[in-house]
Structure 1
Amino acid sequence: MPDSTLDLTRDLADLATLAASEEADVDDLLRRGLDWLAKLAPYDLACVFELEGEQLVVRAMRGPLARAEVRSHRLDLDAFPTIREALETRRARAYTEDDHAHGDGDPFDGVIDLPAGHACMVVPLAAGERPFGVLSLDRRECVTYPQSVVDLVEIYGRILALAIRSAEQSASLARLGAQSREHARLLEERLEGGEQGGVLETSASPAVRELARKARQVAGTSTPVLILGETGTGKERLAHAIHRWSARRERPFVVVNCAAIPEGLLESELFGHDRGAFTGATRERSGRFRTANGGTLFLDEIGELPLELQAKLLRVLQTGELQAVGSDRTIKVDVRIVAATHVDLARAVQEGRFREDLYYRLDVFPLRLPALRERLEDLPALCDHLLSEQRARTSRRGVHVTSEGIEALARHRWPGNIRELANVLERAAILSASGALGPVDLGMSERAPVSTKKTRGGDGELVSLAENERRHIAAVLRATEGRIYGERGAAKILGVPPSTLQSRMKKLGMDPASAR
């Protein structure tokens, strides 16, 4: 067997192997394919043009004449009917001097200087129903490519087109695999919430049952939902219930806490990024929107979203399209948005901290979750539910709250709401010698309830919510002697993370550094 045949066979085998690999890159495949093609048909310029609508755009080029001006070259198909014919018939053709003089003209006129009558060939690249584009070969020599070479390159073009399609499919599967892995990672990062929907629907509070009815009603639509309520009232649990009640229940439920991710990383976290988009971006990342495609994206603490990202979020809500960081490609997504906040968004709009157009886009169907102190009749059911949820972590079975324990819990004001209740129950379940949790086990006999009833200042004047919150935090700090962290710290009593408390103190004009 001749050496040239052995080389061609080896090149085609390498082409097939490259196209099928998980790291297949179309541009790399095209560059190598053009290098191997030179063994079949010598050239001074080889270009792969990709079809974009009615234009052909240079995607790859090789050869001594492959210059920067060629990279930006475009061809209108209307101006080159013979190239359109090659695409439609899927047959290669070699051009003669007469073709250039009396036909379409030279596709590279005004771009590179080639002599009249130079060797030129156009080969269609198509696999299946979809044409990828064309391959053009040009040579300075004033001869016509022999028909035998044209026929061989035409076959090579078909193989190259199949390799391109295979590489694109491999890249698509790799992206889907990355999306699945990221979804699994997100699920591992967060603790699943349990059947909160059932607790809402069987609530002893008429207001909560009405809330559940409305939530189930809106779940059947794709309308954005805005969940309002104090910190710790179970907004994420309600969002998850809406997702489970919807037709998207088999698709991802993805959570983003807009206050917990650094501002510099939040755009990439939401919309993804291309490889090389910034320092450290060594691989493509799909982002939470694409991970949630077909499902529900829960944007917790939406009131903390930076203004710049609010504009980008609005665009996705309006058009269903996004662009990853560092990319000029537009990506379509089908995502149902459920947002939540404890911030007064209407006031934030007035103060210029939140976009008015985004507010009205989100505020189509608001749901307000009552604070725990407004639904104390649900304490027995909530305690059973939370203790059941915690069983896997505490390894305690048969734990329950006594009637005296329920009465003690009902006397507490619960500034941290259900989150604070969950903490109290988990700590009691771990420390209790028996499975019956009474006031002593729950720490309610030693712990003075923190009252939040008053909305007036000490001299009787009416005060704003922010001022009332500031005074309440100050009172708790005085009771803890300025301690924020620890079991007896202000953050624990208020039922919020220490970082959240410090952030809130800054916004209220309080100095976190003065609290120790």
Structure 2
Amino acid sequence: MGRHPEVTQDARELVELATTEEGVGELLRRGLDWVSRVVPFDLATLFLLKEGRLEAVAARGPLANQAVRKHSLQLADFPSLKQALETRRARAFTEEDHSHGDGDPFDGVLDLPAGHSCMVVPLCAGERCYGVLTLDRAQCETYAQPVVDLVEVYGQMLATALQGAEQRATAERLHRQDHEHAKLLESQLGGDSEGILETSLSPVMRDLSRRARQVAETDTPVLITGETGTGKERLARAIHRWSARADQPFVSLNCAAIPAGLLESELFGHVKGAFTGANRDRAGRFQMAHGGTLLLDEIGELPVELQAKLLRALQEKAFEPVGSDKTVRADVRILAATHVDLHQAIAQKRFREDLFYRLSVFPLRLPPLRERREDLPQLTVFLLEEQAKRTGRRGMRVSASGLTRLASYDWPGNLRELANALERATILTRGQELTAQSFDLPNGERAREVPGSGAVEETPAPLPAGAKVPTLAAVQREHILRVLTLTRGRVYGEGGAAALLGLKPSTLQSRMKKLGIERLEGFTAAEDA
């Protein structure tokens, strides 16, 4: 009995084993090895209880063979084993006990000598009994009570380890279910981002999709810029789904939607007692996104005092939760998005230049909807399908006249405004076709700033009564000349007249020729090259 100090060490090892990735089979095998160090036996067999039957799952000792390892018992046929489970106490038996009781559990499997002794140890923890451990000896010597008591302790330890392994397996199953549920919700929230990107008819969007796919294969930080409502989060979700981290979490934090005083805790988490109301430890978005992707939406609104801490977290991949002095590491791929002009914010000391260069390793600019009007037909299809998943209103479509009406509007709110217009029209329309009359949109273009020019196009004032109405050709000619003036005669490229008018350059040139616009005063065609 001098081996009792080993019980403590064995208990530690069993607990450690129960929390590892090893399966139950390895746990039981190791448990039998530990029992062999404290008690002699010729056969040690572990039976697990399954629907009223005890099924052998592991065996050790000189008498262990395939027949033993495949042996099973109907618990109702062995009152002594049932009693051991009910009382949760180990018991030593002799041949005399078996001859006057319910027989030997190995009758017909092993030819054990008359008078041999055995021990039955219940494996119970909490409210569960997992099975029994049986120990048999070929010699006629009953196990002493102190030995029985010691093995009973091992049985309790082994049952506790089995309970831990079972709980871990349950937790892993629930985690997988939650992960699949989260991916489903993510898909519903993000919509068919890939489809919207990859079916675009706009050359700019097709190039953007190609570049996004290329950078998705890396862990390079991406800065997504664009006007409000252009679909920056959709693009971020697409990059995540195209990446090797697709099966890991996608976590988003809107830096403009959370009070400045709580942003640090949201990003990095906090420990219990860090501030009033911190009643428990709480993981931040960096920890939630470990192994996956973290989108910092509206990064341009991040307070300056927090930007230095974010920069350190990005550089060192480590941070301290609020109220803690312990460093936490997180493997996170960073995507950032903003509608703010960060260069201007840097000039105004509202954004750190070093953080900007850390985030904008690979910049992607999402064009506004007015620069990709050719995508309106398929965008309406995608958005109506997404809407149908939420509302159940299926089969809705936009007619040719409806598309013409949509194409005539400037969409300052971009995709978000288009989605709202479609949902509003769907609610107000009885049938399944959305016509021009279905859309309640402003009649004229609202005043807006022309990108890159600093100039503002004003909504035309209504004509006074009796005024001479200009021809459509005259209005078109005047409008094209005004836009060409704003672009200093440039037709092609980003910020050129064709892009601002939502036309292909070849279409604009053809229309200019038809309207007699050959050149602008003070500018030559060479300046457009």
Aligned partners of 2:179 and 2:267: how far apart in 1?
Answer: 13
Shift of 1:366: 0.3
Shift of 1:197: 1.5
Aligned with 2:190 (options 190, 193, 201)? 193
Conserved in 2, the CA contact under 8 Å of 1:178 and 1:286? no
Aligned partners of 2:217 and 2:451: how far apart in 1?
Answer: 39
Matched ranges for 1:235-314 at <5 A: 235-314=232-311
| 1:406 alignment partner AA | L
User: What TM-score, normalized by structure 1, do the two folds share?
Assistant: 0.54
| 1:321 alignment partner AA | A
Q: 2:345 maps to what in 1?
A: 348
Aligned partners of 2:317 and 2:186: how far apart in 1?
Answer: 27
Conserved in 2, the CA contact under 8 Å of 1:293 and 1:334? yes
Aligned partners of 1:401 and 1:290: how far apart in 2?
Answer: 44
Aligned partners of 2:190 and 2:305: how far apart in 1?
Answer: 31
Structure 1 residues 394, 448: closer, same or farther in 2, change over 3 A?
A: farther
Structure 1 residues 255, 350: closer, same or farther in 2, change over 3 A?
A: same
Aligned partners of 1:309 and 1:438: how far apart in 2?
Answer: 49
Q: 2:220 maps to what in 1?
A: 223
Structure 1 residues 190, 315: closer, same or farther in 2, change over 3 A?
A: farther
Matched ranges for 1:72-471 at <5 A: 192-444=189-441, 447-452=443-448, 463=454, 468=456
| 1:414 alignment partner AA | W
- Cα deviation, 1:245-276, whole Å, max 9, x if unaligned, reads 00000000001000001111111111001111
| 1:352 alignment partner AA | K
Conserved in 2, the CA contact under 8 Å of 1:349 and 1:356? yes
Aligned partners of 2:191 and 2:395: how far apart in 1?
Answer: 18
Shift of 1:191: 5.7
Aligned partners of 2:229 and 2:212: how far apart in 1?
Answer: 19
Gaps of at least 5 residues in structure 1 are: 22-162, 457-461, 476-516
Aligned partners of 1:180 and 1:291: how far apart in 2?
Answer: 17
Residue aligned with 1:434, SS = coil
Residue aligned with 1:286, SS = coil
- Tell me which moved more, 427-436 or 404-413: 427-436
Shift of 1:184: 7.5
Conserved in 2, the CA contact under 8 Å of 1:227 and 1:339? yes
Aligned partners of 1:315 and 1:180: how far apart in 2?
Answer: 34
Conserved in 2, the CA contact under 8 Å of 1:307 and 1:355? yes
Gaps of at least 5 residues in structure 2 are: 20-159, 462-529
| 1:369 alignment partner AA | L
Aligned partners of 1:451 and 1:385: how far apart in 2?
Answer: 29
Shift of 1:202: 1.6
Aligned partners of 1:311 and 1:221: how far apart in 2?
Answer: 25
- Cα deviation, 1:110-130, whole Å, max 9, x if unaligned, reads xxxxxxxxxxxxxxxxxxxxx
- Cα deviation, 1:450-490, whole Å, max 9, x if unaligned, reads 2536579xxxxx747xxx59x99xx9xxxxxxxxxxxxxxx
Aligned partners of 1:267 and 1:178: how far apart in 2?
Answer: 27
Conserved in 2, the CA contact under 8 Å of 1:226 and 1:338? yes
- Cα deviation, 1:309-357, whole Å, max 9, x if unaligned, reads 1111111111111110111111111100000000010111111000010
Residue aligned with 2:189, SS = coil
Shift of 1:439: 1.1
Structure 1 residues 210, 273: closer, same or farther in 2, change over 3 A?
A: same
Structure 1 residues 362, 406: closer, same or farther in 2, change over 3 A?
A: same
- Cα deviation, 1:133-178, whole Å, max 9, x if unaligned, reads xxxxxxxxxxxxxxxxxxxxxxxxxxxxxx9xx99xx99x999999
Shift of 1:181: 7.8
- Cα deviation, 1:358-410, whole Å, max 9, x if unaligned, reads 00111110000000000000000000000000102222111000011001000
Q: 1:145 maps to what in 2?
A: none
Aligned partners of 1:388 and 1:236: how far apart in 2?
Answer: 18
| 2:344 alignment partner AA | R
- Tell me which moved more, 378-387 or 304-313: 304-313
Aligned residues: 312
Task: Tell which structure's C-alpha radius of gyration is larger.
Answer: 2
Residue aligned with 1:392, SS = helix
Structure 1 residues 358, 455: closer, same or farther in 2, change over 3 A?
A: closer
Structure 1 residues 222, 283: closer, same or farther in 2, change over 3 A?
A: same
Residue aligned with 2:337, SS = strand
Structure 1 residues 290, 181: closer, same or farther in 2, change over 3 A?
A: farther
Backbone CA RMSD of aligned residues: 4.1
Conserved in 2, the CA contact under 8 Å of 1:394 and 1:429? no
| 1:275 alignment partner AA | K
Aligned partners of 1:264 and 1:454: how far apart in 2?
Answer: 36
Aligned partners of 1:362 and 1:327: how far apart in 2?
Answer: 26
Shift of 1:302: 0.2
- What is the identity percentage for the equivalent residue pairs of Structure 1 and Structure 2? 57
Structure 1 residues 278, 179: closer, same or farther in 2, change over 3 A?
A: farther
Aligned partners of 1:178 and 1:305: how far apart in 2?
Answer: 32
Shift of 1:427: 1.1
Aligned partners of 1:455 and 1:346: how far apart in 2?
Answer: 15
Structure 1 residues 256, 349: closer, same or farther in 2, change over 3 A?
A: same
| 2:232 alignment partner AA | K
Aligned partners of 2:416 and 2:251: how far apart in 1?
Answer: 20
Aligned partners of 1:183 and 1:369: how far apart in 2?
Answer: 30
Structure 1 residues 272, 176: closer, same or farther in 2, change over 3 A?
A: farther
Aligned partners of 1:463 and 1:269: how far apart in 2?
Answer: 37
- Tell me which moved more, 226-235 or 428-437: 428-437
| 2:297 alignment partner AA | D
Shift of 1:429: 1.1
Structure 1 residues 182, 418: closer, same or farther in 2, change over 3 A?
A: same
Aligned partners of 1:184 and 1:274: how far apart in 2?
Answer: 28
| 1:293 alignment partner AA | H
